[in-house]
């Protein structure tokens, strides 16, 4: 696959200028884990750290995409640039597809200030969380002030993705079994803001009360009590309030030690991941390595070789151990 049609320095410049095609090509490169992506991100990294990352998570169909769409429009009204990363949405962003069918704009077509990209959850080299984190960096470098990451809050992958965000919105709706206890405990823990969407529906009051009761039991983190914001995303109701809540959260944690700790923790994990993949590459490198690994695994399975000797052999052959 050819991803780079221009030198990487030029490509980085184009990304920084917000060139949609350059950004799109870069995302493809990141997804496919091609070496150019790394060279590009290395050049772009000093220009990141400006974007505010908001994770939007919740059960399927709770209205995450609609909310993200409305929030994006809200920021655009303030002339702030928005990047959207939709991780495996079961209901994709519809509307005029631009630049290939995986980049879709909904009500933002023709608006170069909003960039929306869907990423499939499966088949990622090096993990979805890695790819999402790198795409977020890219959008940051491209000058997107707000990066909204939509993900269905289910698996470990999603939890890892959400951990990347500066602020996490958990979206709930009435009628999905109002018993909050049945909700994923994990979701309650990661929520900085709870969005009670579809507030036009029967049972909104009950859900809000149950949610507030539950939240009153949760210890505030650094003095932050997660608020509950009611929205009707389809009617654009409560979106301003939601943006205000995010702003408050951002202000609250701007200077906090917890935020710094979170960033250090994040980069520590990323460095470990990078190191792991580098070491794996060095140890096994390429298709021959894979074949050799399979061969050794066969021998271990047949009890011809013990796993410890097998690993030592790999290390020795790769020069990582003498």
Choosing among ligand GTP, Mg ion, none, which partner's interface includes residue 197 (Cβ < 5 to 8 Å by kind)?
Answer: ligand GTP
Binding partner of residue 60 among ligand GTP, Mg ion, none, CB under 5 to 8 Å per kind? ligand GTP
Neighbours of 57 (CB within 10 A): 27
- Shortest distance in whole angstroms from residue 189 CB to Mg ion: 22
Count of C-beta atoms within a 10 Å radius of residue 146: 23
What is the C-alpha separation between 91 and 284, in angstroms, rounded?
39
Q: Which CB sits closer to Mg ion, 65 or 106?
A: 65
User: Which among 124, 145, 151, 129 has a CA at the least distance from the CA of 60?
Assistant: 151
Q: Is 89 in the site for ligand GTP (CB under 6 A)?
A: yes
Binds ligand GTP by CB under 6 A, chosen from 65, 106, 114, 118? 65
Q: Is 41 or 211 the residue whose CB approaches ligand GTP more closely?
A: 211
Measure the CA–CA gap between 231 and 199, rounded to whole angstroms.
6
Q: Which stretch binds ligand GTP (CB under 6 A): 16-24, 57-65, 138-146, 162-170?
A: 57-65
How far is the C-alpha of 13 from the C-alpha of 198, rounded, in Å?
42
The residues in 168-207 that bind ligand GTP, with binding defined as CB under 6 A, are 197-198, 200-201
Between 12 and 85, name the residue whose CB sits nearer to ligand GTP. 85
198 binds, among ligand GTP, Mg ion, none (CB under 5 to 8 A by kind): ligand GTP
Q: Least distance in Å: CB of 91 to Mg ion? A: 5
Identify the residue among 1, 79, 90, 181 touching ligand GTP (CB under 6 A). Answer: 90
- Using CB under 6 A as the binding rule, the residues of this chain from 275 to 294 that contact ligand GTP are none
226 binds, among Mg ion, ligand GTP, none (CB under 5 to 8 A by kind): none
Min separation Cβ 175 and ligand GTP, Å: 10
Say whether residue 153 binds ligand GTP (CB under 6 A): no
Could you list the residues that contact Mg ion (CB under 5 A)?
A: 64-65, 89
Of 123, 118, 82, the C-alpha closest to 246 is: 82
Contact by Cβ (8 Å): 305, 295: no
Kindly list the residues in this chain that would bind ligand GTP in the complex (CB under 6 A): 60-66, 89-91, 152, 197-198, 200-201, 232-234
């Amino acid at each position: 696959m050819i991803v780079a049609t221009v030198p990487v320095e030029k490509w980085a410049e184009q990304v920084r200028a917000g060139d949609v095609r350059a950004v799109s090509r870069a995302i493809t490169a990141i997804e496919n884990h091609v070496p150019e992506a790394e060279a590009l991100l290395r050049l772009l990294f000093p220009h990141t750290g400006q974007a505010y990352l908001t994770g939007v998570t919740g059960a399927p169909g709770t209205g995450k995409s609609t909310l993200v769409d409305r929030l994006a429009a809200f920021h655009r009204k303030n002339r702030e640039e928005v990047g959207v990363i939709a991780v495996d949405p079961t209901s994709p962003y519809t509307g005029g597809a631009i630049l290939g069918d995986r980049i879709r704009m909904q009500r933002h077509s023709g608006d170069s200030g909003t960039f929306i990209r869907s990423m499939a959850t499966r088949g990622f080299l090096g993990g979805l969380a890695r790819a999402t984190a790198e795409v977020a960096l890219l959008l940051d470098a491209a000058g997107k002030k707000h990066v909204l990451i939509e993900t269905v809050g289910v698996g470990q992958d999603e939890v890892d993705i959400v951990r990347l965000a500066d602020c996490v919105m958990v979206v709930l709706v009435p009628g999905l079994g109002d018993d909050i206890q049945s909700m994923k405990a994990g979701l309650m823990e990661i929520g900085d803001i709870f969005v009670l969407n579809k507030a036009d529906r029967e049972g909104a009051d009950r859900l809000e009360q149950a949610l507030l009761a539950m939240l009153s039991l949760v210890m505030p983190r650094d003095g932050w009590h997660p608020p509950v914001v009611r929205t009707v995303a389809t009617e654009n109701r409560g979106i301003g309030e939601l943006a205000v809540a995010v702003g408050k959260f951002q202000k609250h944690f701007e200077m906090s030690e917890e935020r710094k700790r979170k960033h250090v923790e994040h980069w520590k994990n990323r460095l470990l991941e990078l190191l792991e993949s580098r070491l794996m590459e060095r140890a096994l490198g390429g298709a021959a390595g894979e074949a050799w690994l399979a061969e050794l695994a066969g021998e271990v399975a047949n009890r011809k070789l013990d796993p410890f000797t097998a690993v030592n052999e790999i290390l020795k052959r790769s020069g990582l151990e003498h």
